[in-house]
Structure 1
Amino acid sequence: MKLRVDQLEGQLKKQLAPVYIISGDEPFQVSQCCDQVRQYARAAGFSERHVYHVENNFDWGDFLATANSLSLFAEKQILEIRMPSGKPGDAGSKAFMEYTSHLSPDNLLLLITDRLDSTQQKAKWFQPLEKVGNFVAIWPVESAQLPTWLGQRLHSDGYRATPEALSLVAERVEGNLLAASQELEKLKLLAKDQTIDEETVRNSVADSARYDVYQLIDTALAGNTRQCIRILGVLKGEGLEPPIILWALAREVRLLSQLSRSLSRGLALDLAIDQSAKAMGFNAFLLKRRKGLLNKAITRHSERDFRAMLNASGNVDRCIKGIEKGNVWDQLLSLTLYLSGLPPMAVIR
C-alpha cells in the first residue's frame, strides 16, 4: 500500500504491517518516518534491532539467516536494511522474494532507500514487499508549501504562528527541513502564550547561525581559506549540526557543477544561472546578486573538481550516518577548503 508521509502515523496506530519501505531524498522526513516506525514497533514488542548496510558484496544470506533464526521464546525483531541505491541485485531480489514468501509475525522489515523511480517500483523485488507492507514515498517540501509544513508542525505541538512569522522562517531555512525543525524548537522557547509572531522570529538568535552557514559558503567561493577555518570553528563551537553544513556545501557544489557544464557549452553566465535556478529550485535574482562569487569558484575549478567535491560530500554523509569511519568535522573542513581553492586533502580522497 502506498502512503503519504502524513498518513503513516495513522496507519501505524491501526496495525503494524510486516514491511515498511521508506523512500526519498529528503533526509529529515526520511528520518522522522523511520523513527515513527521504530517507535510503534518497540511499543508492540519488537525489542531487538538488526541494521544492514547494502554495499558491494553484501551478504544477503546473513539477513535471511537472522530473519529465520527465531526460536519459540525469541524476542521480536526489527530488520532494518539501508539500501540507498534502491538496487538489491539478483541476490537481493531473491532474498526479498524468499523473505516475503515466509513472513514471520516476529519480524518487521524496515527498508530505507533513496527515491525509487517508477521503473524501480515495478521491479520483481519491490512488488512483493509492497503487496504485504506499506510504501512511503517522500518528496521534498516545495518552497511554496514550506510555510504550511512549518505551521502544521507547530500546531501538532500546541503552538500557532502568524503567516508573516512562518514566511520569515521559510525564507531563512531555504528548504532545509532539519534546519527548519531546529529553528522551530528554539522559537517555541521564545513564544509568548504559545504564539510565534514575526518579532519572535526576528529576535531569534538562530538567525546568526544560519547567516554564518551561508557566510561560510560565500567565504569559500571568495577563496578566503583562513576565514573559512575560523567560521567553521565557530559553527562547531555553537553546536550546529554537521548535516546542515553538509547540506549547504553540497547544494552549492551541485549548482556550481551545473553552471560549469552550461558555460562549457557556450552559454552566458546569466542564462546559465536562469536555467540552473529553474532546474534546481533556486531564486535566480538572488543567485545573480552572487554572480561574482560564483564566477570566481567556476574559474578556479574544473568540472572534474566539482565531481570530486560531490563524491567527497557523499563520503561525509556516510560518515555522519556511521556507515564509514572518520572525523566528520575534519572532512567538512577539507571539503570547504577544497571549494575555497586548496588542493584536496587525503581525508576526502
Structure 2
Amino acid sequence: MIIRIFANQLVHTLQQQTYPAYLLVGQDPLLIEESKYQLFQFGKQQGATQKQEIVIDSNTDWATLFTDLQTFGLFSQQQIFLFTLPDNINAQLQQQLQQLVSLLHSDIIAIFQIAKLTTTIEKQAWFKTLEQIKTLQINCQTPTLEQLPQWIQQRAKMMELSIDNEAIELLAYNYENNLAALKQTLQLMQLLYPQQKITLINAGQCIEQSSVFTPFQWIDAILQGKKYRCIRILEQLQNEGDVQPVVLLRILQKELLLLLRLGSDDKIKIENTQQMLNSQLLRQKFDQYKIWKNRRPLYSAAIQRLNYHRLYDAIQHLAAIEKAIKQQGDENSWQALQQLTVKLAA
C-alpha cells in the first residue's frame, strides 16, 4: 500500500517508522530539496555510507545499476539511491523499473522522485510493486493560495515564531508560489522578532527588507498609486530574470478585472466611462469575493482613484503587449509594461 503524507510531516513520520521505498511527488523546489535532505540525513542515521543520484531516461546504464543494487546487498551498511523519473514512462522504461523495484532490499534506501503522478503511471506494474512493498509517498506540490496560510502557521510553529492572522495573510499574498523566498522572510523574522508576536506591521517591514521583490509587491504599488516604487520593483524583476513579462501581464490582468468587479454595481448601467468606480458596495463586494482584510484598503484606494476608462484602456493595453510578445518576443515588453504601470499608478 502507499502511505501518503505532506512534506511537512516527513520528519515526524521518519521518527515513527521506516519504509522500503520513498516517493517524492511534486515540483516545488523548496519542498523537494528539504525532503531529499531529510531523507539523506535519515539515511546517514541508519548507517548509510554511500549515495547515488540517478536520472532515469533512455541513456540510463541499467546493467551497471542492477549490478550496483545487487552488490550493495552484500554489505552490512545501507546505501541511498535517488532515482529521478521522467514525466513520460514508456514501455521499455516500465520493464526496467519493474526489475529495479524487484531488486530493492533492506540495505537500500530507495528514493524515487517524479514531478506528477498520473492514473496511467499508477496502473503500471512497477508502481503496483511499489504499492505492495509499502512505499511512503511525500507530497511536494506547492501549496495553493488557500492552503498557504496553514502551511505558514505550521512552518512558524516549527521555527518557534508567533505570527498573527493578518500577518500570515500578508505573507501568503506576497509569496504565493515562492516558498523559498517565504522561508527567507520567516528566517529574517526569527532574527528581528525573537520571542515576540509578529504583527501585520512587522511582517510588512520584513517583506520590505527582503532582498527579492515579488510581482505582488509590484501590484500593491500600482494599487497604492506609488509610480516610482512600481518602476523600481519592475526594474529589479527584469534584472533578476526569474519572472517573464507574460506572467506579470496575467497577474495584472487578474487584478484589473477584479477591480472592475469590485467597483461596479450590477444594477446600474455604465453610461460614461469617465465616471469613477463605484465604492458604495465595497464591503459587500469584499465579502462576496473573499478579499483578505489586510488587502481591502489597497483595493479601496485604487477604486477611489481610477475610473472605468482607465481600467478599460489598461486592459486593452495589456492585450496589445501580449500580442506584441507573441509576434516579436520580449524585446520591448518591459518598457511597455513600465509605461502601463506609470499610467495606472498616476
TM interval, shorter chain, is: 0.5 to 0.7
What does residue 52 of structure 1 align with?
A: 54
Paired residues for 1:21-36 under 5 Å = 21-36=23-38
Q: Which consecutive segments of 4 or more residues in structure 1 shift more than 6 A?
A: 214-217, 227-230
> What's the offset of the Cα at 1:105?
1.7
What does residue 64 of structure 1 align with?
A: 66
Task: Return the alpha-carbon distance in structure 2 between the equivalents of residues 119 and 250 of structure 1.
Answer: 35
SS in 2 for 1:4: strand
SS in 1 for 2:72: coil
SS in 2 for 1:231: helix
What does residue 318 of structure 2 align with?
A: 294
What does residue 89 of structure 2 align with?
A: 88
Per-residue CA distance 1:206-249 (angstroms, 9 max, x = gap): 456443666899xxxxxxxxx999636965xxxxxxxxx63x43
Point out the more displaced range, 201-210 or 98-107: 201-210
Per-residue CA distance 1:59-85 (angstroms, 9 max, x = gap): 333322221222644642111111241
Task: Return the alpha-carbon distance in structure 2 between the equivalents of residues 214 and 56 of structure 1.
Answer: 41
Per-residue CA distance 1:171-202 (angstroms, 9 max, x = gap): 11123212211111112111142432222112
State the TM-score, normalized to the length of structure 1: 0.65
What does residue 130 of structure 2 align with?
A: 129
What does residue 347 of structure 1 align with?
A: none
2:244 is the alignment partner of 1:249: yes
> What's the offset of the Cα at 1:135?
1.9
Task: Return the alpha-carbon distance in structure 2 between the equivalents of residues 104 and 88 of structure 1.
Answer: 23
Per-residue CA distance 1:7-41 (angstroms, 9 max, x = gap): 43333112321211111132322222222211211
Task: Return the alpha-carbon distance in structure 1 between the equivalents of residues 197 and 115 of structure 2.
Answer: 36
SS in 1 for 2:157: helix
Task: Return the alpha-carbon distance in structure 1 between the equivalents of residues 234 and 58 of structure 2.
Answer: 35
Structure 1 residues 66 and 229, CA, compared in 2 at 3 Å: closer, same or farther?
farther
Task: Return the alpha-carbon distance in structure 2 between the equivalents of residues 253 and 212 of structure 1.
Answer: 10
Structure 1 residues 299 and 18, CA, compared in 2 at 3 Å: closer, same or farther?
same
Task: Return the alpha-carbon distance in structure 2 between the equivalents of residues 142 and 91 of structure 1.
Answer: 35
What does residue 170 of structure 1 align with?
A: 172
- The alignment yields a C-alpha RMSD, in angstroms, of 4.0
SS in 2 for 1:301: helix
Point out the more displaced range, 19-28 or 63-72: 63-72
What does residue 40 of structure 1 align with?
A: 42
Amino acid at match of 2:31: Q
2:145 is the alignment partner of 1:150: no
Task: Return the alpha-carbon distance in structure 2 between the equivalents of residues 270 and 57 of structure 1.
Answer: 48
Task: Return the alpha-carbon distance in structure 1 between the equivalents of residues 154 and 217 of structure 2.
Answer: 30
What does residue 231 of structure 1 align with?
A: 236
Per-residue CA distance 1:253-309 (angstroms, 9 max, x = gap): 8959x99xxxxxxxxx969x99xxxxxxxx9x99x796366324312122896xxxx
SS in 1 for 2:57: coil
Point out where structure 1 has 5 or more consecutive residues left out of the alignment: 218-226, 236-244, 260-268, 275-282, 306-335, 342-349
2:192 is the alignment partner of 1:187: no
Q: Give the percent of matched residue pairs that are identical in Structure 1 and Structure 2.
A: 21
What does residue 119 of structure 1 align with?
A: 120
Question: How many corresponding residue pairs?
Answer: 273
Larger Rg: 2
Whether the 8 Å CA contact 1:154–1:161 is kept in 2: the answer is: yes
Amino acid at match of 2:125: K
Whether the 8 Å CA contact 2:54–2:82 is kept in 1: the answer is: yes
Point out where structure 2 has 5 or more consecutive residues left out of the alignment: 220-231, 262-290, 292-298, 303-310, 336-346
What does residue 311 of structure 1 align with?
A: none
Amino acid at match of 2:21: V
Amino acid at match of 1:76: Q
